[in-house]
């Protein structure tokens, strides 16, 4: 999901308040995102009825660019490889 040649890779985390798996996923992703010079966008599914219906029992859900990466738990090495493959620098 690039807007132009110098745009950062966007990692989207679908989350909700009080979700311990979301907190764990975010903590795992942040160092990798920083190394890759990517950008994390967090979206609270409870702020949108359609997103809540889609992801209610599935958070966290993680996308790298427009591509689904994972839900529930995240492996830092696989995440770094996915960012690199999508154009980030990890």
Residue whose C-alpha is closest to residue 48's, from 72, 84, 14: 14
Q: How far apart are the first and last CA of the chain?
A: 17
What are residue 63's DSSP bridge partners? 12, 68
24-36 residue pLDDT tens: 999 999 999 999 9
What is the distance between the alpha carbons of residues 46 and 52, in angstroms, rounded to a whole number? 6
36-50 residue pLDDT tens: 999 999 999 999 999
Residue numbers in the chain where pLDDT is lower than 50: 1-5, 90
Distances (CA, A) of 53 to 41, 45, 48, 56: 20, 9, 9, 6
| Annotated domain spans of the chain | 10-85
Peptide bond preceding 60 in cis form (omega within 30 of 0):
yes
CATH, range 10-85: 3.40.30.10
CA 78 to chain centre: 13
């Amino acid at each position: 999901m690039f807007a132009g040649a110098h745009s950062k890779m966007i990692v989207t985390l679908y989350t909700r308040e009080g979700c311990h798996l979301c907190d764990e996923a975010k903590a795992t992703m942040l160092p990798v995102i920083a190394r890759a010079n990517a950008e994390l966008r967090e979206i609270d599914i409870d702020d949108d009825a359609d997103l809540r219906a889609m992801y209610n029992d599935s958070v966290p859900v993680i996308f790298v660019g427009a591509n689904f990466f994972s839900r529930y738990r995240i492996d830092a090495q696989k995440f770094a490889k996915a960012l690199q493959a999508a154009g980030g620098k990890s």
